Amino acid sequence: MKELLSATLDGIDAKPVHVEATFNKGLPAFGIVGLAGSSIQESKERVKSALLSNGFSFPPLKITVNLSPSDLAKTGSHFDLAIALAIALQNEETQLQNLYVFGELGLDGRLKETRSIFPLLLSLKNQNLIQKAMIPRESLEKAALIPGIEYIPVNDLSEAIAVCRKEAVPEAIVATPIDGEKVAVGGESFYYMPEYPEDFIDVKGQESAKRTALIAAAGMHNILMEGSPGCGKSMIAKRLRYILPPMSLEEILQANQYALLGDEEPSFKPIRPFRSPHHSSSKPSIFGGGSSRARIGEVALANGGILFFDEFPHFQKTVLEALREPLQDHRVLISRVNSKVEYATRFMFVAAQNPCPCGNLLSSVHACRCSDLEIKRYKQRISDPLLDRIEIYVQMQESDPDDVPSVDSATMHAQVIEAFRRQKARGQSRLNGKLDEKELERYATLSSDAEDVLLKAVRNFGLSHRGVGNVKKVARTIADLAGSEKIEKSHLLEALSYRRRA
């Protein structure tokens, strides 16, 4: 029995499939078993024609091809090459261990690219299941973007057979390395791009907002900016993306896997995603949905990066309330009749809003046209449980003609990277803003003065358990930016100043 490796998509993840072939006594026949879909059943004719066109003679035996595991539904014409090789090399010794095989066969034996090959390779690499793969040469240009895989590109079935028989030396090609700069911490590499197409040097004034933006970026904290129209809320949000912490290889692969599921072209650049849905967006478009097959939404596409809600209170009430789960649990589960898919949602949430419907409540120049009732209704669109999941609140200053630039993105990014180094050097698998309770207890060590201040704050401000955790997370990041091992009194006081007041 000859056995080869291939794979199929199960939801968003690729699952390895063992392709087995046997020749048994009986009436000549060719059958494929193992929950094979219609596209795989059709491959019998393509495989037959391709093998006959390349000098293979079918013996008068019953050929059975099994796709294991048999309880996993399989689809895709990319199984053609693995099935053909399992049959053609049935009685021969080959070195095919740990080699994944993908490719659709033409009737003459030529290998063709299919849309499924790239997401399969990407998912397998993301799960660290693949080191080497045989693919059609047509697929090489796109597949070479995925780092860490050695490819054997082949043009047709006869070339694939020759490589397996060692009659031809395989042209092994290693994928393109990741672009950008590299940061090494504890033996692990992280990547970032020192490019700032949208720079903080363009933001004039707003010193407190830029300070909170730096803290939010360094720890991936959720942040809410409130201010008059035109004061720079959206400018700051868009520039945050380019000063975020470096990405691991796993984060880069997962971000591109999700982008591919969202019908976007992956780039494999170490730039964290930025998603900014319009406030009129539907709930399925933001959280994922679909009538029969689960589709990815904005909260999953923002995983590892930024989800920006401009005009925060204008989003549908159902959208705002549904946002609480991905912010708290860092995942979203989409259930449909035919599928259940879980997406990671470990994003940094950035929100911007006006202080009132007309936007002029905080203005010293323009008069507010809103009644107290209108302002109250506007504020009440966002519930306290949702606001409790946002760690940093900043009230933007009104723009002034005398405001000048003060700091550029390169300087801020260097500070974020140093804070990132300290977090990783402590052994944190996640950044400060995404720590759970046990990790927070372990890594957010307070000095005695800071503990006293926190205790007084709990009594005076009525902080909830989540609120205490949020303050400690922000204080931990402020301490990291200051290069302090412990959270001191000054760090905690600054973190408390960013707490939203009722």
| pLDDT surpassing 70 at residue 106 | yes
DSSP state at residue 239: H
| pLDDT surpassing 60 at residue 1 | no
Provide the pLDDT for residue 292.
Answer: 59
Quote the pTM value. 0.88
DSSP state at residue 59: -
107 Cβ contact list (under 8 Å, min separation 6): 46, 49, 50, 53
The tens digit of pLDDT for each residue in 2-35 reads: 789 999 998 788 999 999 999 999 899 999 999 9
The tens digit of pLDDT for each residue in 330-375 reads: 999 887 766 778 899 999 999 999 999 999 998 888 899 999 999 9
215: buried, middle or exposed (CB in 10 Å: 19+, 13-18, 0-12)?
buried
Domain 2-174 has CATH 3.40.50.1470: no
Distances in Å between the alpha carbon of 126 and those of 252, 257, 258? 9, 8, 11
The tens digit of pLDDT for each residue in 123-170 reads: 999 899 999 999 999 999 888 888 889 999 999 999 999 998 888 887
* Mean pLDDT, rounded, for 79-99: 86
Buried b (16+ CB within 10 A) or exposed e, 124-161: bbbbebbebbbbbbbbbebbbbbbebebbbbebbbbbb
Name residue 272's amino acid: R
Provide the pLDDT for residue 178.
Answer: 84
What's the CA gap between 473 and 404, in Å, rounded? 31
* Mean pLDDT, rounded, for 67-92: 92
| pLDDT surpassing 60 at residue 277 | yes
Q: Average the pLDDT over each of 93-102, 105-114, 357-366, 399-408 and give the range with the smallest value.
A: 93-102
Domain positions in the chain: 2-174, 185-414, 435-502
Specify the CATH number of the domain 435-502: 1.10.8.60
Domain 185-414 has CATH 2.60.40.10: no
**Mean pLDDT score of the chain:** 92
CB hemisphere CA count around 253 (13 angstroms): 22
- Strand runs labelled E in 44-85: 62-68
Provide the pLDDT for residue 12.
Answer: 82
